[in-house]
Structure 1
């Protein structure tokens, strides 16, 4: 397996964990890995009448930094714009759009540790 394939596999694992966690909280999965010319959203969900644009960051170690450190102001602004574009393309009108982060730490042994940060913007 190449490094790129390993990264994709770890990312897919983290997204699966995140979706299970979020739907377990009662959110409704709308779409995964939505892409357009401006970027990609990992997971889109509905939390009541609110659209949740969710960024999932998965790490196996902290060598590259924490998942939280990967979320810059520019990334947040792009995620918000992508959520607005998704809404326009789907023709829906949520009460609001929220950007969340799900940080998944996958240790070499044991279960993944999941942290859900709501409302980054």
Structure 2
């Protein structure tokens, strides 16, 4: 992946995660939804669940795996953001379970990605 910036690495990881989720049958409802309190990387529908997805991308595990970077504070913020997304999109949010997932993307030197998907994150 050479000299990509941190932002470019993150955007690449989000594309990889989205492709992974779509291949698993999820429908993407929103990408990079922002409000004054933060951002949801992806919002998807997975069966009857509305899912807020946090994507964490790393080029190395020197500072830990992508999944290890999700703290309890981050999970609490994501839970709040998913509720705000639902309030902002009532027609698209429709009744169903709410869930938080984390997708970790680890890129090797050649840019190949390995993906870990954790469904139903309660706290980190």
Q: TM-score, normalised by structure 2?
A: 0.89
How many residue pairs get aligned? The number is 118
Report the TM-score, using the length of structure 1 for normalisation: 0.92
Does 1:116 pair with 2:120? no
Structure 2: give runs of 5+ residues left out of the alignment.
none
SS in 2 for 1:10: helix
Aligned to 2:54: 55
* Uncovered stretches (5+) of structure 1, i.e. residues with no partner: none
Over the aligned positions, Cα root-mean-square deviation in angstroms equals 1.5
Greater RCO (Cα-Cα under 8 Å, separation 6 or more):
2
Paired residue for 2:15?
Answer: 16
Moved over 2 A (4+): none
SS in 1 for 2:77: helix
Pair 1:76-2:85 in alignment: no
Q: CA 1:93–1:115 in 2, change beyond 3 Å: closer, same or farther?
A: same
